[in-house]
Amino acid sequence: MKSILVIEDNLEVRENIAEILELADYKVLTAMNGKVGVGLAKQSIPDLIICDVMMPELDGYGVLHLLSKSQETAVIPFIFLTAKTEKSDVRKGMNLGADDYLTKPFDDVELLDAVEIRLRKKELIRSAAVGGDLDSIHKIVSEARGNQELEKLISDQRKISRFKKKQILYSEGNKANSLYFIVSGKLKTYKTNDDGRELITGLYKEGDFLGYMNLLEGSDHTESAMMLDDSEIHIIPKDEFFAVLFSSKDVSEKFIKMLSDNLIEKEERLLKLAYNSVRKRVAESLFMIYSNFHKDEDPSDFTMAIYRDDLAAIAGASKETVIRTLSDFKDEGLISIQGSKISIINLDKLQKMKN
């Protein structure tokens, strides 16, 4: 049974809301003012909070501000109750992180609809982050571009760490202490088996974050990261990242989306490695490099310089097999090869290659 905390100083309104919610099979907790409400929220961690704006001692804005500072309560959906309809008041609440507004007087249907929508969205976000439901996460989460708190993490004021090509950023099994943001350059993440064979798990470029998955899981690094080019990196301490993550709903939702996308991409790659032919895997690897690093370029005029070892590690095949497959692609007019450089001639056929 979902639990809902109602914070309202007017006894009649509070009891009326509680009665409606209980009839709809919700467990209801009530608080007569903001201070009591904050304490009850931290103690019980409800699934949703409905809070009046104008209250003595601590108003609704103060309640939301205090709850946003705690990791456990910052993610609870929050609906304001207000008699005010001024846009500035609505904007103030939304800027603090409120999910919705109900303007008094409201009827039973309005209340229950607002509650149901917020609880459904909370569940979709949770299932998307855990189970990789990409459609759900795309519907719910808006990109947090321009978010001031996020931009503080990657501002020009922060020291830039410079790395040479092939230099290691972190290794599998290392303790995860930082979030990384690529200012310039490219890198790969990879796993190595007992025989020393490498499987590339991700490709990253300028503007990408990495390292957040292990920070959010509280685990050691489960893969290694190496520079593919000379690169510049912002190294953001874990405490700074968490401080912004738990105080800004936009930032937390952005990283939930990134985490979900990452999980889905890795699951799809594992399935392809298990069931796709070598030809299909090599073709998909070429497309992966193009879409990650050069998708704004005309594919008919696109050339990549890549070590055959790296291409083999993406495709999950031996270097010799990859070289033979590339030679076949060249004979078929799909690519051209000059030294370590590969030029794509027919991207569409590579994408649609049969298994």
Give the chain's domains with CATH numbers.
3-139 (3.40.50.2300), 148-252 (2.60.120.10), 276-351 (1.10.10.10)
Q: How far apart are CA 155 and CA 72, in angstroms?
A: 28
Burial of 78 (0-12, 13-18, 19+ CB in 10 A): buried
Give the DSSP H/E element, type plus range, for residue 27: strand 27-31
The percent of residues in the chain predicted with pLDDT above 90, rounded, is 27
Question: How much is the pTM?
Answer: 0.50
DSSP 299: G
Q: Is 23 helix (H, G, I), strand (E, B) or coil?
A: helix
307-315: long-range pairs with CB below 8 Å, 24+: 307/340, 308/340, 309/198, 310/188, 310/200, 310/228, 311/282, 311/285, 311/286, 313/190, 313/198, 313/199, 313/200, 314/200, 314/203, 314/285, 314/288, 314/289, 315/278, 315/281, 315/282, 315/284, 315/285
Q: How far apart are CA 259 and CA 128, in angstroms?
A: 9
Antiparallel, parallel or unpaired: β 186-192 and 198-205: antiparallel
Q: How far apart are CA 18 and CA 23, in angstroms?
A: 9
Q: Mind listing the pLDDT tens digit for each residue in 159-210?
A: 889 999 999 999 999 999 999 999 899 999 998 877 777 888 888 888 888 8
Please give the pLDDT value at position 250: 66
**What are residue 286's DSSP bridge partners?**
none
Supply 280's token pair: 């299909």
DSSP one-letter string for 173-210: TS---EEEEEEESEEEEEEE-TT--EEEEEEEETT-EE
Q: Mind listing the pLDDT tens digit for each residue in 100-111?
A: 788 888 889 889
Residue 237: is the preceding peptide bond cis (ω within 30°)?
no
CB-side exposure of 115: number of CA atoms within 13 Å? 29
Please give the pLDDT value at position 140: 35
Residue by residue, pLDDT tens for the chain (355 residues) are: 899 999 999 999 999 999 999 999 999 999 999 999 999 999 999 999 999 988 988 999 899 889 888 777 877 888 988 876 555 666 566 656 677 788 888 889 889 988 987 787 666 555 444 444 434 333 333 333 335 566 667 776 778 899 999 999 999 999 999 999 998 999 999 988 777 778 888 888 888 888 888 887 788 998 999 999 999 999 989 888 887 776 666 666 666 666 656 665 665 666 566 567 888 888 888 888 887 776 666 666 667 777 788 888 888 778 888 888 998 999 999 988 888 788 888 888 888 887 6
Please give the pLDDT value at position 15: 95
